[in-house]
Chain A
Amino acid sequence: MTHPDEETLAGLALGDAAGASDDLAHVATCPSCSATVADLRRVADAVSVSPRRLDLAAPPAGLFDRIEAQIDDEERDSEVLDQAHAVAPSPAIAQSPPTQPVAARARRRWGPVGRAAGAAAAGIAIGLLAGYAVWNEPAPPAPVEVASTRLDTLDTRQWQGMATLLREDDQELLSVRTERLDAGSGYLEVWLLNRDGKRMVSLGVLRSDGRSSFPVTQQLIDEGYVIVDISREGFDERPEHSGDSLVRGTLKS
């Protein structure tokens, strides 16, 4: 038998099936028709809970301009990328001279951590440009301490270490030094919590010797992210804070 048309199925979905026992019998055995009937029934239910009048709010004026601007930006970016791929494959990019020595750039970005890495590299490969740049650079200005806090356990307020906010070359760095904290079977993660009790950012993983530095920004501090928190995290699929805080302290200048 051929399938009944959709209108007939709509009639069945609504239960006005007078004189359509053939159709009913068909639908009972035809998976595709019974799915359509169920669909139409759902549509009817959806209409029954929809608002009688549609009161729409207009988006603010100027939004379309911003949408177009964003689209323009993204299209320009993808064109630049396309061109870069087309004209300058990776070797050409790699050969273009960096604006400053690699080691110096690394130091700018990472501060003491990068410098230590640079020095280590120089030790291994003496005479290479990277090492040369490190050893011959004028001594960088000493980092200035901007704020600091004790890191205490949450329950018994036991001293476990310090966190210090340093500024060097207009870059902020949070330096953390702790006693050996028990990471359990996971690892330790350093967070900055906002004073408003609503927001938080993850700075990264604390090394097992309890000494790590993390790049931060003055803006973050100004926004109220001043509570240093170290949590114990498991190797699981949950990127958020585990709730298992070991130590905490509020930065004070």
Chain B
Amino acid sequence: MTTVEGVLALDELVAEQDDLAARFASGSREALAEVYERWSALVYTVALRALDDAHDAEDVTQQVFVSAWGSRHTLRPSEGAIPAWLVGITRHKVADVRTQRYRRARNLAAVASVTPEAGSPPPEPDIAQRLLVAHEVDRLGEPRASVLRLAFIEDRPQEEIAERLGLPLGTVKSHVRRGLVQLRSRLEEVDDDSPR
């Protein structure tokens, strides 16, 4: 099969990402344009799905890239984790918009003498995480991405996956494990303190 080629292609992809991250971090406006070109749709879609408002989503997207540029020195180039980093920033911006909306609603409830509900804004459905994971699964390349989708989303036994994709069972097992390990390293960024 194409495992060797696949691994090579992946390494090249990772190297290219690292280079892009390094150029971005060092202040290259071309790198900014490239990052925008590649990931603005991901950022915009996360915002759109989370906020359900095209205008707010556009606003958030703009803030995310301006803010990413402003804190580019915090991007660790070695990790090749630009999308997770961007989605982390997007989450913060989305949360800000949600908090503003919630406050506004609560103020009005207060003014209308309706008892406001105590506590923090309602929890954000984890659209960001889901879209990012789907994006990262895509980035694993084939056949690894298909193996993971079949194994986890469709919950197929590994034997069946091997048969469907015409791969040896050992290869399927290895794709599943390596895929998980790769995803873990790329998703790490999201939950920590991304710049706001």
Q: Interface readout for B157-196 with A: 1 if CB under 8 Å, 0 if not? A: 0100000000000000110111011011001000000000
Whether the Cβ atoms of A44 and B110 lie closer than 8 Å is: no
A49 to B183, CA, bound (A): 14
Given A44-B152, A48-B155, A57-B48, A7:B112 Cβ within 8 A = no
Residue B1 at the chain A interface, CB threshold 8 Å: no
A198 to B115, CA, bound (A): 16
Residue A160 at the chain B interface, CB threshold 8 Å: no
Residue A242 at the chain B interface, CB threshold 8 Å: yes
Whether the Cβ atoms of A52 and B153 lie closer than 8 Å is: yes
Q: Interface readout for B110-141 with A: 1 if CB under 8 Å, 0 if not? A: 11110110000000000001110111011000
Whether the Cβ atoms of B110 and A241 lie closer than 8 Å is: yes
Which size bracket describes the interface of B in this complex?
A: 35 or more
- In the complex, chain A residues whose CB is within 8 Å of the CB of B29: 68
Given A67-B65, A71-B66, A198-B108, A47:B183 Cβ within 8 A = yes
Q: Which of B2-10, B12-20, B35-43 contacts A (4 or more CB under 8 A)?
A: B35-43
The interface residues of chain B, by DSSP majority, are classed as helix
A36 to B113, CA, bound (A): 50
Residue A127 at the chain B interface, CB threshold 8 Å: no
Whether the Cβ atoms of A13 and B137 lie closer than 8 Å is: no
- In the complex, chain B residues whose CB is within 8 Å of the CB of A198: 104, 108
- In the complex, chain B residues whose CB is within 8 Å of the CB of A39: 184
Interface residues of A, CB < 8 Å — how many? Answer: 49
Whether the Cβ atoms of B62 and A54 lie closer than 8 Å is: no
- In the complex, chain B residues whose CB is within 8 Å of the CB of A74: 66, 70
A200 to B105, CA, bound (A): 10
Whether the Cβ atoms of B42 and A200 lie closer than 8 Å is: no
Residue B98 at the chain A interface, CB threshold 8 Å: no
Q: Interface readout for A1-37 with B: 1 if CB under 8 Å, 0 if not? A: 0000011101101101000000000000000000010
Q: Which 6 A-B pairs have the closest CB atoms?
A: A243-B110, A10-B177, A59-B44, A56-B41, A50-B133, A47-B152
A residues whose Cβ falls under 8 Å from a Cβ of B: 6-8, 10-11, 13-14, 16, 36, 39-40, 43-44, 46-60, 63-64, 66-68, 70-71, 74, 154, 191, 193, 197-200, 229, 240-243, 245
Sample 24 A-B pairs with CB under 8 A, ordered by A number: A6-B184, A7-B174, A7-B178, A14-B177, A14-B180, A40-B180, A43-B187, A44-B152, A50-B133, A51-B134, A54-B138, A59-B44, A60-B54, A66-B62, A67-B62, A67-B66, A70-B66, A71-B70, A74-B66, A198-B108, A200-B107, A200-B108, A241-B107, A241-B110
